[in-house]
Amino acid sequence: MHRHLAADLARLPELLEATRARATDFLAGLTGRPVVPPWRAPEPEPLPEQGAGLHGALAEFAERWEPLMSASAGPRYLGFVTGGVTPAALAGDWLTATMDQNPTSALDQAGQQLERLTIAWLREMFGLSPAHDGAFVSGATTSNTVGLAIAREWLGDRLGVHVAADGVGALGGRVRVLSGTPHSSIGKGLAVLGLGRRALTEVPTLADREAVDPAALEEALKAAAREAAGPCVVAANAGTVNTADFDDLLAIIELRDRYGFWLHIDAAFGGFAALSPAHAHLVAALDAADSICVDLHKWLNVPYDSALQFTRHAALQARVFQNSAAYLGPLGDEPDLIHLTPENSRRLRALAAWFTLRAYGRAGHAAIVEECVAGARALGRAIADIDALRLLAPVRLNVVCFTLADDPAPERLADLAADLTDDVFVSPTVYAGVPALRAAFTNWRTTQDDCRRIAEALSRHVPRYASTEIS
């Protein structure tokens, strides 16, 4: 054994204690540090020949890299859609690495059984019936891609070909994926799957909305039928990233009864509306989908590398993702998890989710959702009161989309966002052709005090960007 490995093994409890202390210090300083510190590239580091041992590595990391890390686990990092990490989820994640299980096979089944239990809990939490099988994947992009892969197999069945066996060419290019405001990951998934980004047709939305117009969707389905384009996939949206808008799922399901398509629903963060009595109606019809994407590293507040993929068509899923090998055993009625997703070996993703659900239950996670919604509302009201800012959409759930009232040029918005990074991190976007900023609330730590601090920072910085300066 290399001398540093031997030494670290001999001092493991002490070294883990030192690591714990670093983690605790970081978390204690989370609300004090800039939300995104200014970037300055550290000196390049050559590949270490002998290394410095864990103690040396900790010291080096603390000095060089830790100060550059953002407070993305903290309460005012509202860019992208970025959840935090609950205390129990953090503990679960630590133990995931500690135990280093590979939960994909019944030959060593504790990890796999814990995943199945956690999936059943989450299925219930999102109001889904047992007709949906679930699987843990690395994020919503992979979840969307897996859903579309199962859809691809289903399309093959409709056309009398076997895509998993014969390749995507067997479909003859006749694939159409219809969506109102698809997340960018849908195009990426289509590229990966050989269906091609051009398979995606964006269907007009309702006026001043990101939700698909059901009448326009029906027209698109009729056009596909006229052109004998074969069955379609509809990628419906339950929570768009700019304005948290929801497609009318009931109207889409009614269209499916008439036109027969695969219904995939991207409910990456919007699925959590199921936890809020005032918003649950938005996803009440989720169960009818053929495949569903829900992200866990966003609103469940588990660390990165966690999402769920649900489908009513597990047999088709196993046809795509089966990984037959002599030592892995037959597929059977309940295929091992290795046969359901792109990865083979992987970490025990469910453990962080199991911990946070066991620790805080449905009610604790419902409270996170409600507090985030209240935070978004509060920020929305504050922005409405700042003359130089304009809300671009009502705050429907947890996202606030706003811009400069005059001349919202992308560079001015980027400068404003950069001015704000001590207090809040927001992302640039374009909504209905207008450059904008958006703040997404998904972190369990965010309080009304944080919202006041953000509003105060906006009031302080925005006047510099008002085109008629008052000073």
How many C-beta atoms lie closer than 10 Å to residue 115's C-beta?
23
- Tokens at 343, concatenated: 């990865």
Distance, CA of 471 to CA of 371 (rounded, Å): 37
Distance, CA of 402 to CA of 51 (rounded, Å): 49
- Tokens at 109, concatenated: 């089944």
By C-beta, is 179 or 446 nearer to ligand PLP?
A: 179
Distance, CA of 436 to CA of 78 (rounded, Å): 14
For every residue of 154-172, DSSP letters joined together read HHHHHHT--HHHH-GGGGT
> Residue 236 CB, nearest distance to ligand PLP (Å)?
11
Q: Provide the pairing of β-strand 200-202 with 389-391.
A: unpaired
Distance, CA of 283 to CA of 57 (rounded, Å): 47
By C-beta, is 239 or 435 nearer to ligand PLP?
A: 239
> Residue 185 CB, nearest distance to ligand PLP (Å)?
4
**Which residues of this protein are in contact with ligand PLP, per CB under 6 A?**
81, 139-141, 144, 183, 185, 239, 241, 266, 268-269, 295, 307
By C-beta, is 246 or 465 nearer to ligand PLP?
A: 246
Q: Are 375 and 441 in contact (CB under 8 A)?
A: yes
Distance, CA of 221 to CA of 215 (rounded, Å): 10
Distance, CA of 181 to CA of 205 (rounded, Å): 8
Alpha-carbon dihedral of residues 155, 146, 320, 236, nearest 10 degrees? -20
By C-beta, is 72 or 105 nearer to ligand PLP?
A: 72
Q: Are 402 and 438 in contact (CB under 8 A)?
A: yes
> Residue 362 CB, nearest distance to ligand PLP (Å)?
22
> Residue 300 CB, nearest distance to ligand PLP (Å)?
12
> Residue 284 CB, nearest distance to ligand PLP (Å)?
18
By C-beta, is 224 or 340 nearer to ligand PLP?
A: 340
How many C-beta atoms lie closer than 10 Å to residue 350's C-beta?
30
| Residue of 239, 228, 303, 236 lying closest to 269 (CA atoms) | 239
> Residue 132 CB, nearest distance to ligand PLP (Å)?
18
- Tokens at 173, concatenated: 């290019």
Looking at residue 137, its amino acid is V
Instruction: Reduce the secondary structure of 165-220 to three states and give it as a string.
Output: HHCHHHHCCCCCEEECCCCHHHHHHHHHCCCCHHHEEECCECCCCCCECHHHHHHH
By C-beta, is 185 or 309 nearer to ligand PLP?
A: 185
Residue 421 gets which letter from DSSP? T
By C-beta, is 444 or 465 nearer to ligand PLP?
A: 444
Q: Give residue 209's Cα distance to chain centre.
A: 21
By C-beta, is 86 or 144 nearer to ligand PLP?
A: 144
Looking at residue 389, its amino acid is L
By C-beta, is 140 or 199 nearer to ligand PLP?
A: 140
> Residue 307 CB, nearest distance to ligand PLP (Å)?
6
> Residue 139 CB, nearest distance to ligand PLP (Å)?
3
Residue 425, helix vs strand vs coil: strand
> Residue 268 CB, nearest distance to ligand PLP (Å)?
3
By C-beta, is 268 or 316 nearer to ligand PLP?
A: 268
> Residue 142 CB, nearest distance to ligand PLP (Å)?
7
Residues of 116-138 as b/e, b for ≥16 C-beta within 10 angstroms?
bebbebbbebbebeeebbbbbbb
By C-beta, is 279 or 319 nearer to ligand PLP?
A: 279
Name 266's bridge partners: 237, 293
> Residue 49 CB, nearest distance to ligand PLP (Å)?
37
Distance, CA of 246 to CA of 12 (rounded, Å): 50
